[in-house]
A and B are shown apart, each in its own frame.
Chain A
Amino acid sequence: MDVVEIHGLVKRFGHFTALDGLDLQVGPGEVHGFLGPNGAGKSTAIRILLGLLRADGGTVRILDGDPWRDAAAIHRRLAYVPGDVNLWPNLTGGEVIDLLGRLRGGLDARRRAELIDLFELDPTKKGRSYSKGNRQKVALIAALASDVELLVLDEPTSGLDPIKEAAFQECVREFRSRGHSVLLSSHILAEVERLCDKVTIIRNGVAVETGTLSELRHLTRTSIQAELAQPPHGLETLSGLHDLTVDGHRVAFEIDTEQLDAALGALRGFTITSLVCQPPTLEELFLRHYGDEIPTEPEAVG
């Protein structure tokens, strides 16, 4: 039984169609990446999953319930971290963590203390004096310290520094190891690659690709820059090769990731003296697969 099941979901705001038949499934024990450019409809889909917005069409099930009708019962079993965390200006971070934990049905005091340590949060500061990253930490700690089986995270690390980001990823892995599921919306491909078992890519309110990361490898290209002991020749015959430039001993090209091994094998024939290998970014992925018509609509929901 899937933890999240969305079929043909439609949501309109006036004349603007934010979701236009979205499909999304998250299985048990799965970390599911939810990718897409700004304004693609990620946050709208998540808000429908949380019962904040009402669906105009399609079916939505989450934790075996209807997100609109059974909201409170479902929410006992999940924790949510919004992308843009707003706190009450006159409540301290510690108070907000406790409040959200209590509203979810209790939180683990020991875990709370560990997480505050791990994320180096000062819980005595008032909401108004926290930076964006610290506000995000408050919501993350509240979510990770509660006893739930599903985490819904909407771009949770956009304000965190790399060390806290690593700590966050460790927490997510630990959460999954207990058999729980995570829906992680993001536009940072590296984060998704490190954490997620499956990925759904959404664009203009429709899922355009979905599958495990290895299933999606065909979507990604890796850019290679290498210096070789001998001038290379015959590289253009490699399949999946793009934008090849050869300059004496130097070579630069992009290669479909599934052909990476073959390309490196070919390069080794000329003896590699230096190699720079860049993983593709989501922006590149989108540019490649959808031309330059990356949607630029403003975020559908403020």
Chain B
Amino acid sequence: MSRLLGREVVGLRVLLPAFLRRDALMIGCWTAGISLLYVSQAIGVEGLYADQAEFDRAAEAMERNAALIAMAGPARALNTVGGQVTWQAAAFGAITAGLMSMFLIGRHTRAEEESGRDELLRSAVVGRHAPQTAALLVALIANLAVGLGVGLSLWAYGLPGMGSLASGLQAGLSGATFAGVALVAAQLTQSVRGMYGLTGVAIGLAYLLRAVGDVGTPWLSWLSPIGWGQAMWAFSGDRLWPALLFVAALICSVALAFAIFERRDVGSGVLAARPGPATAGRDLQGAFGLAWRLQRGSLYGWLVGLFVCGLAYGSIGNDAADMFGDSELSDAMLAAGLADPVDGFLASSAWMLALVAAGFSISSALRPRVEEEGGRVESLLATALPRGRWFAGHGVVTVVGTVLVGLAGALGLGLGFGLVTSQWDRWGDFLVNASTMSLASLVWVGVARLLYGLSARWAPWAWAGLALSVVVMLFGEVLSFPSLVMDLSPYRHPALVPVEAFAWTPVIALGGVVIVLWVAAQAAFARRDVH
């Protein structure tokens, strides 16, 4: 038996270290990011309330808010730092770890099969099951790292050991379970995009099930891996037996994935690729038509995502006053000298939503790079399509998409706030803020396009710009960064109404920067070699 098993995974000892070498940096970044997600909740809560009485009052308000519970999870011990950490980080930590697993599994299984590299690998002395076993082990090791990172950092921060252990288990086991789901998805679809889509739907469904379950139908939460993690009651009871549910689910999904793999051809999926139209529709022409066709799928996804995010922020807006307390710090966070905390919360929501939406903007701005790396630009530029117009076509989709995604967020914010408070008179503010914040995102879009125009290799550094803006948003005021650094973030400049009075100067200045960057990017791209 063990001889037989050994034959199936011959080459594992070569593949696993090779995969790990490829992924080490990526795993390190995910681990650090997810650990920070948990610990930053503790840091954030710690300074927010002046005394325990205020903390208790805030916790009570949160416990009553069904929207918050739907968003985060079951409300337990919310008047403790540990309880807050679990409440605010567990669901998103599980999702993030799940995404990490999805990318790790995808890149070593379906992506390799789709590109044909897998074929080359399999022609060597490699057992039938070695590649996906190695991929699974990489994902499990990554989730072990995440679990250790979360647990140890919470413990080192000073939270109780048992709760830290439960939190670590919750994060790591959630990620491991989604690795099993991703491995099954990799057997079903023929493309890596389809596999990401399917896994994403599974993660989304898990989140949704527990949201509905936590609000009033508890048994639904037990159908969701995210729900199992929250049922471990980290820092508020610390029961560890739901961990067994994860293990059982992992074993079942891995067994299922291997069973499907046994029955399918390498390179094919269980779900056959559907045929498409034999001729191009009328809209598939010109630079814009093609760019729109290539990017619209992801744009639709972001529109829905931002709308839901906005809805969530809007629906908790009215409770902002109760939740933030009146400590010095929360005053600082809500911008100095501000009259109404609800206004402040809604304004900073616009800022937050814009930073989320910028994820679309930057990835869309980098789409030309994906096309060039995929070798699909050569044939296009060998037609009568001028290179500048090709580049601008993608740029127009990015700009239009950025504006639309911003508006979707504002729409959700307004609707969520209106539904809870019956106040429908704030649309103007929401739209103004969404517009100015989208304009700020276009600065980073311009930087991304300029970098790409100069050299495809430099383009991803645009993400560093967005990261700077996120850090400034989250920690700038709290850690009192020098204003020079703060001002590098374009989101800091436009006025957020109604907290601050609207001013044209920063809007015009940002608009000027955006135009200059666009022109410079086009000029740079006109000059360089295209591969």
Contacts and interface: CB of A to CB of B under 8 A. Distances in A.
Contacts, number: 120
B426 interface: no
A97 B285 CA distance: 11
Contact of B530 (A53, A86, A97): A53
Interface of A: 47, 50-54, 71-73, 75-76, 78-80, 82, 84-92, 94-100, 102-105, 122-126, 128-129, 139, 152, 301-302
Nearest to A47: B378
Interface residues of B, number: 38
Contacts of B385: 72, 75, 103
Given A52-B381, A103-B285, A94 B278 contact: yes
Contact of B384 (A85, A91, A105): A105
A127 to B, nearest CB: 9
B279 A84 contact: no
Nearest to B380: A103
Given A52-B378, A75-B384, A82-B378, A99 B280 contact: yes
B529 A52 contact: yes
Contacts of B274: 126
Q: Interface majority SS on B: helix, strand, loop or mixed?
A: loop
Interface string B490-531: 000000000000000000000000000000000000011111
A52 B286 CA distance: 19
A72 B290 contact: no
Nearest to B387: A71
A100 B385 CA distance: 10
Contacts of A105: 384
A111 to B, nearest CB: 14
B294 interface: yes
B491 to A, nearest CB: 33
Nearest to B193: A89
Contacts of A123: 278-279
A71 B193 CA distance: 34
A125 B528 CA distance: 34
Contact of B191 (A80, A91, A96, A128): A128
Given A72-B385, A94-B276, 5 more contacts: A50-B381, A71-B387, A89-B191, A95-B276, A125-B276
B384 A72 contact: yes
A190 B379 CA distance: 27
B279 A98 contact: yes
Nearest to B388: A72
B275 A95 contact: no
A75 B383 contact: yes
Given A71-B386, A103-B285, A125 B275 contact: yes
B307 to A, nearest CB: 24
B223 interface: no
A89 to B, nearest CB: 6
A53 B529 contact: yes
Nearest to A146: B383
Contacts of B297: 90
B280 A80 contact: no
A94 B191 contact: no
9 contacts: A51-B387, A54-B529, A71-B386, A91-B293, A102-B284, A102-B285, A103-B384, A122-B275, A126-B273
B190 interface: yes
A108 to B, nearest CB: 14
B376 A87 contact: yes
Interface in B433-467: none
A88 B381 contact: no
A103 B383 contact: yes
A52 B280 contact: no
Contacts of A126: 273-276
